[in-house]
């Protein structure tokens, strides 16, 4: 079974509480999601492999560590996942970015895939699939199905708020992947929204509704 971690660094908790507030506007919401994503990016990249490299300091030559060849791709699930991309790119600027378009039917809560555009070598990359919300888990499961169908093997899923129902469904469907969230909330309501959650992440990021 892959890891399941709640990344509850005080700065992450504080910033997440700020954007749960229904009164904060789009600009603040977007900027804060970006900041939280950078903080989470730092944590989720903790086990990136290192290798030895020789470096000549002004004093002497020495052998120190650098990131090994494992290449990274960030895969936002559209739309809301887009809000998490730039924050992680701040730390891993050479990462490629692939996109998976997915929307939830508001009646059935079933996800529908509408767009997939990925780097050609995703089978050789460490993938960070990002989406602020893991609710029923349907969107994440279908997005990861789409990645695996195209050869991806090394996948971490990163979200801001998860419902227990979504974590369970994702672990059952894809037991090999690691799941990171900034918060594990209480439950889903009858409309499939996370309680207490932060509402509709896509609408809050982009100012739609
Ligand atoms: C939201 C969210 C996830 C999905 C989570 O997207 O960003 O992708 O719902 O729900 P699930 O775990 O039950 O599948 P939404 O369908 O609202 O699309 P949007 O990002 O384009 O607004
Ligand atoms: N999608 C969202 O954006 N928010 C939720 O609470 C559930 C699904």
pLDDT 10s digits, 32-86: 999 999 999 999 999 999 999 999 999 999 999 999 977 999 999 999 999 999 9
Is 86 a catalytic site residue? no
What pLDDT shows up at residue 150? 96
Distance (angstroms) between ligand 1 centre and the Cα of 62 equals 49
What pLDDT shows up at residue 143? 98
- Compute CA 209 distance to the chain's CA centroid, rounded to the nearest angstrom: 23
What pLDDT shows up at residue 136? 96
What pLDDT shows up at residue 209? 83
Is the Cβ atom of 87 under 6 angstroms away from ligand 1? no
Is 108 a catalytic site residue? yes
Per the residue annotation, which of 20, 86, 104, 153 is the catalytic one? 104
What pLDDT shows up at residue 69? 75
Ligand 1: residue whose CA is nearest its atom 13? 136
Q: Residue 45 annotated as binding?
A: no
Residue 192 vs residues 4, 159, 174, 184: alpha-carbon distances, Å: 22, 16, 21, 15
Instruction: For the chain, list residues with pLDDT below 50.
Output: none
Is the Cβ atom of 77 under 6 angstroms away from ligand 1? yes
Tell me how far apart the alpha carbons of residues 48 and 187 are, in angstroms, rounded to a whole number.
32
Per the residue annotation, which of 26, 62, 108, 208 is the catalytic one? 108
Distance (angstroms) between ligand 2 centre and the Cα of 159 equals 11
Q: Which two tokens stand for residue 147?
A: 């990645």
Distance (angstroms) between ligand 1 centre and the Cα of 103 equals 6
To test the ligand 2 pocket, which listed residue (19, 194, 202, 205) has its Cβ within 8 A of the most ligand atoms?
194
Distance (angstroms) between ligand 1 centre and the Cα of 181 equals 15
What pLDDT shows up at residue 43? 96
Nearest ligand to residue 115 Cα? 1
What pLDDT shows up at residue 34? 98
* Close Cβ partners of 188 (under 8 Å, ≥ 6 residues apart): 135, 136, 163, 165, 166, 194, 195
The CA R_g of the chain, rounded to the nearest whole Å, is: 18
Is 203 a catalytic site residue? yes
Q: Which two tokens stand for residue 138?
A: 């349907």
Angle at alpha carbon of residue 112, lines to 108 and 118, rounded to 5°: 155
Domains and CATH numbers, the chain: 4-206 (3.40.50.2020)
């Amino acid at each position: 079974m892959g890891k399941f971690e709640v990344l509850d660094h005080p700065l992450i908790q504080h910033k997440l509480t700020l954007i749960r507030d229904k009164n904060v506007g789009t600009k603040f919401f977007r900027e804060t999601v970006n900041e939280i994503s950078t903080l989470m990016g730092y944590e989720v990249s903790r086990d990136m492999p290192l290798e030895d490299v020789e470096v000549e300091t002004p004093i002497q030559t020495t052998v120190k560590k650098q990131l090994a060849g494992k290449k990274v791709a960030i895969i936002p699930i559209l739309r809301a996942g887009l809000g998490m991309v730039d924050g992680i790119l701040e730390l891993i600027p050479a990462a490629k970015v692939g996109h998976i378009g997915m929307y939830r039917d508001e009646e059935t809560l079933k996800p529908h895939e509408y767009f997939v555009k990925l780097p050609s070598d995703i089978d050789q990359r460490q993938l960070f699939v990002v989406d602020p919300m893991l609710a029923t888990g349907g969107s994440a499961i279908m997005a990861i199905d789409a990645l695996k169908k195209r050869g991806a093997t090394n996948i971490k899923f990163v979200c801001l708020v998860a419902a227990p129902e979504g974590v369970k469904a994702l672990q059952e469907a894809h037991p090999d992947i690691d799941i990171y969230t900034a918060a594990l909330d209480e439950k889903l309501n009858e409309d499939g929204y996370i309680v207490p959650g932060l509402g509709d992440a896509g609408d809050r990021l982009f100012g739609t509704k």
